[in-house]
Chain A
């Protein structure tokens, strides 16, 4: 990532208290696409017996990443809010591994941004989860 973009990305995350609390990182952003990472942490485990992360933490990551993708679309809405988000859980994320997600705003109208995202752990060939969502478009 270019230095100014990286700085903007860092600023974006640090401004959101919940993302900071989960130590999320925005690893790439631009033209309706965003990539984020959620470090593995025992405090956000959903199944204490296996150590698998809770779906809620994955939801927070995918929701933020989808919102970031909508906001950086070339038609550049000034802000966005989630209208609806569906997450499909394909498999449990491997305990101890970070979860990475890529989101793409594949269509935008004057009022709505349509976004989809896929999440992976260290295994790029088998997705952990996919998400589809609709986001509001706030004009400047």
Chain B
């Protein structure tokens, strides 16, 4: 049997971007902080554009530790949900219509989250990437790294454990 012709690149990209956008923009807190995600294939980079309302220490000035924690937790949750949804997005099992209508897949729930503050967050854009170290049927462990100007100079890192949404929900 001949191999089916691959889908046109625009169709694939449109489906992936619609799924990601629905996942990210459906959460009010993510919009409040102004976090956006960039996608290269299945790799996601979270971006936190600097804004004065993110400041926690006006004298330095530095980004609030709670903002850093929220940014890293968001990166972890979206990264984990994204890696779980990838196969369904690729196979077209998740329909564009249901996503754009706001029928979002259930997100993983945070059990615990530990942030390691390596240096103060400067008043400029921040970036983060998550790595799913283990994802089982019920629990997952995710590590996140965040940096600003230089990729190798992290200003924070975090590890969290998450409860996966049950498949029959």
**CA A43 to CA B52, docked complex, whole Å:** 17
Please state if B70 and A87 are interface contacts (CB–CB under 8 Å): no
Q: Is the interface of B mostly helix, strand, loop or mixed?
A: mixed
Q: Shortest distance in angstroms between A113's beta carbon and chain B's nearest beta carbon?
A: 14
User: B115 contacts A16, CB within 8 Å?
Assistant: no
Interface size of A by CB at 8 A reads 38
A46-76 vs B, CB cutoff 8 Å, 1 = contact: the mask equals 1111000111110111111001000000000
The answer for the CA separation of A54 and B57 in the assembled complex, in Å, is 22
Say whether, besides A16-B56, A42-B28, A56 and B117 are in contact (CB < 8 Å).
no
Q: Are A60 and B114 in contact (CB under 8 A)?
A: no
Shortest Cβ gap from A70 to chain B (Å): 12
B65 touches A82 (CB 8 A): yes
Check B67–A86 contact: CB distance below 8 A. Answer: no
Classify chain B: how many residues form its interface, as a range: 35 or more
Contact between chains at A89 and B70 (CB < 8 Å) = no
Check B1 for interface membership: any CB of A closer than 8 A: no
Closest 10 CB pairs of A and B: A56-B70, A60-B66, A54-B29, A59-B69, A18-B64, A21-B53, A86-B114, A82-B65, A17-B55, A63-B66
Contact surface of B with A, Cβ cutoff 8 Å: 26-33, 52-59, 62, 64-67, 69-71, 73-74, 102, 104, 107, 109-117, 120
Which chain B residues border A16 with CB–CB below 8 Å? Answer: 55-58, 64
A53 to B74, CA, bound (A): 13
Say if the beta carbon of A83 comes within 8 Å of chain B: yes
Asked if A44 lies at the interface with its beta carbon under 8 angstroms from chain B, I say yes
The answer for the CA separation of A92 and B106 in the assembled complex, in Å, is 15
Q: How many Å from the CB of B50 to the closest CB on chain A?
A: 12
Give the distance to chain A from B116, nearest Cβ to Cβ, in Å: 5
- Do residues A56 and B73 form an inter-chain contact, with CB atoms below 8 A? yes
